Amino acid sequence: MEFFDVVASRRSTREFVPEAVPRDVLERAIGAAAAAPSAENEQPYTFYVTTGHTRAELGAIIAQTTVYLRDYLQTLGPEGYERSVRWFTSFGDAPVLIAIAVPDSENQSQLTNRLVSVGTAIENLLLAVTAQGFGACSVTFSYWVRDELAKLLGVPSGHSVVSVIAVGRSAENLAPSPEKRDDIALWLD
């Protein structure tokens, strides 16, 4: 696939088929993430790739997030709430969940740089997964369960899990991308 075709075809997949993702697909995606630019080339992220038992445990921990979704019922509305409960309970049955952790920082500038850096790495990973014919969904999950996730994954003290990505073969016929804003740039001379 050509680069711009990959970008245009990338969607957030929320339903997956129960099919293992080959390790080489995941390794290429992680390699693409590592190739992303980062502030001062810090590469502040660690990707925790989970399958099997660890994936099931990680999913069970994140499913606890549904308890806290009740707090957002008014914001989400009944349909949004039910959709969120279904998603967080199973992560769409994705066979692979990748948690991403970054070092904490009291320095706001450093933390911002780290979070922007992890964002570029995530986008590279999502595009690499798409280019290989798989689907993915990056979730900035609720922080209510981050300590439990860190314990399960062995995330070192002083680091926080900031995102979880579900990866697998899409079970959905993904609709065309919703219309994107065309007013995101100001052209200055």
Domain boundary assignment for the chain: 10-168
d(CA 102, CA 92) in angstroms, rounded, equals: 25
Q: Quick one: which of 139, 151, 136, 122 has its CA closest to 61?
A: 151
In the prediction, which pLDDT does 40 show? 92
DSSP 102: E
Model confidence, pTM: 0.88
d(CA 66, CA 70) in angstroms, rounded, equals: 7
Class of domain 10-168 as given by CATH: alpha beta
In the prediction, which pLDDT does 118 show? 96
User: Phi and psi of 158, rounded to 5°?
Assistant: 90, 10
Q: Which residues pair with 102 in a beta bridge?
A: 160
Q: Residues 51-93: pLDDT tens digits?
A: 999 999 998 888 777 666 666 666 677 777 777 777 777 888 9
- Which two tokens mark 151? 């314990």
d(CA 51, CA 37) in angstroms, rounded, equals: 27
In the prediction, which pLDDT does 174 show? 65
